Amino acid sequence: MSTQYRCLLVEKLENKQFSRSVTHRSIDNLPAGDLLIKVDYSSLNYKDALSAMGNPAVSRNFPHTPGIDAAGNIVESNSDDFAVGDKVLVTGFDLGMNTAGGFGEYIRIPKSWAVKLPENLTTREAMIIGTAGFTAAMSVQALLDGGTRPEHGQILVTGSTGGVGSVAIALLAKSGFEVVAVTGKAEQAEFLKSLGASEVVTRESLLEGAEKPMMRERWAGVVDCVGGNYLAAAIKSTRYGGNVTCCGLTASADLSLNVFPFILRGVSLLGIDSVECPMAPRLKLWAKLASEWKLDNLEDFVTECSLDALDQKINDILAGKVVGRTLVNLKTD
């Protein structure tokens, strides 16, 4: 009999609805690939919740196990680059989209998706960071590469209690930036300050005056996770020569804007995609997250859950209720 493993399985029902359950599957159901990995930890990202809801922009093939993140040990390898027993992390590519993902005790993937776990990082720490934290790191790196420096002024972070936002605050503070956090959860102000935000403002305050073609110059840079009117307002209030990163759409995928911030203030809008991030910058950034950007308060970001508790967490993240990062523990020993 082939090995059975536990996973969260999303199934398409006849009425175009989707069901979610924790069940056993055979390893034979996993796709072909170079590396079979026993997963220690995964993490919950917004995109996983979309996949778990059957959103066709994320996942089209069902039954399906979501989970765009996984870290664990290689148990079978068809690659000279990876040996049995190596610890690896995987984020993005097709993992958890149409390839069975990290919400299962095993994954099988092409070797080109695997990152050897950097020294000084555990599988648990890697998954506290996960796709959200890696995207935060890409965003902060993009600001730095664009020339934004702490002496230029404040950095605005939107969606700040979320996975990307919370890690971005901590990385920016660690890099010496003064951070202003925008949140819809006023009660989380102390948490955001503990991560390194020097000021916490409401979503509504960001939109004050946003009907005007341009707003008062405030931000040296912006890490935006939410899109829509918030991103438009952030761009309109970015200072001369500032950089704005765009990675997410929790508020809206639309962006209604004029060209003035770009042609009158030289503002740059920088797109961030962690999914297809090429391996060279990917390795460089993970090495940085394990060294000069290693956050010593990683446990402060985390709510840990089991596969069985994921169902509720998926509902919570879709409702914008999650704070920080949700770590999924798949360890069986």
Ligand X SMILES: NC(=O)c1ccc[n+]([C@@H]2O[C@H](COP(=O)([O-])OP(=O)(O)OC[C@H]3O[C@@H](n4cnc5c(N)ncnc54)[C@H](OP(=O)(O)O)[C@@H]3O)[C@@H](O)[C@H]2O)c1
We find the least distance from the C-beta atom of residue 326 to ligand X, in angstroms, to be 8
Exactly one of 88, 173, 195, 226 binds ligand X (CB under 6 A); that residue is: 226
Residue type, 324: G
- Contact between 241 and ligand X by CB under 6 A: the answer reads no
Contacting range for ligand X; rule: CB under 6 A; set: 8-16, 23-31, 183-191, 236-244: 183-191
Q: Which among 31-39, 129-137, 282-290, 301-309 is the span making contact with ligand X, rule CB under 6 A?
A: 129-137
Which is nearest to 91 in space by CA: 56, 138, 143, 54? 138
In the complex with ligand X, the residue whose CB is nearer, 148 or 188, is 188
Closest CA to 108 of 123, 93, 119: 93
R_g of the chain computed on alpha carbons: 20
- Residue 194: both structure tokens together: 């503990």
Q: Are strands 18-26 and 4-12 parallel, antiparallel or unpaired?
A: antiparallel
**To the nearest 10°, the Cα dihedral for 57, 127, 312, 254?**
-40
CA angle 187, 245, 228 (to 5 degrees): 65
Give 109 or 314: the residue with its C-beta nearer to ligand X. 314
Indicate the residue among 77 and 250 with the shorter CB distance to ligand X.
Answer: 250
Length of the chain: 333
Q: Which of residues 288-327 bind ligand X (CB under 6 A)?
A: 317, 320, 322
Q: How many CB atoms lie within 10 A of CB 200?
A: 21
Interaction between residue 203 and ligand X (CB under 6 A): yes
Question: Does 245 help bind ligand X (rule: CB under 6 A)?
Answer: no
Q: Does 196 bind ligand X (CB under 6 A)?
A: no
Verify binding: residue 70, ligand X, rule CB under 6 A: no
Q: Which stretch in 34-42, 208-216, 266-274, 297-305 sits in contact with ligand X by CB under 6 A?
A: 266-274
Does 118 sit behind a cis peptide bond, omega within 30 degrees of 0 on the bond before it?
no
Query: Widest CA span of the chain, in angstroms?
Result: 68
Task: List the end-to-end C-alpha distance of the chain, in Å, as a whole number.
Answer: 22
Site string for ligand X, 71-110 (x = CB under 6 A): ----------------------------------------
For the chain, where are the alpha helices, taking DSSP H only?
Answer: 46-52, 123-145, 163-174, 189-195, 203-207, 228-236, 260-265, 279-289, 310-318
Note whether 282 binds ligand X by CB under 6 A.
no
The answer to whether 162 contacts ligand X (rule: CB under 6 A) is yes
State yes or no: residue 255 binds ligand X (CB under 6 A).
Answer: no
Give the binding site for ligand X (CB under 6 A): 45-47, 131-132, 135, 159-165, 183-185, 203, 225-226, 230, 247-251, 272-275, 317, 320, 322
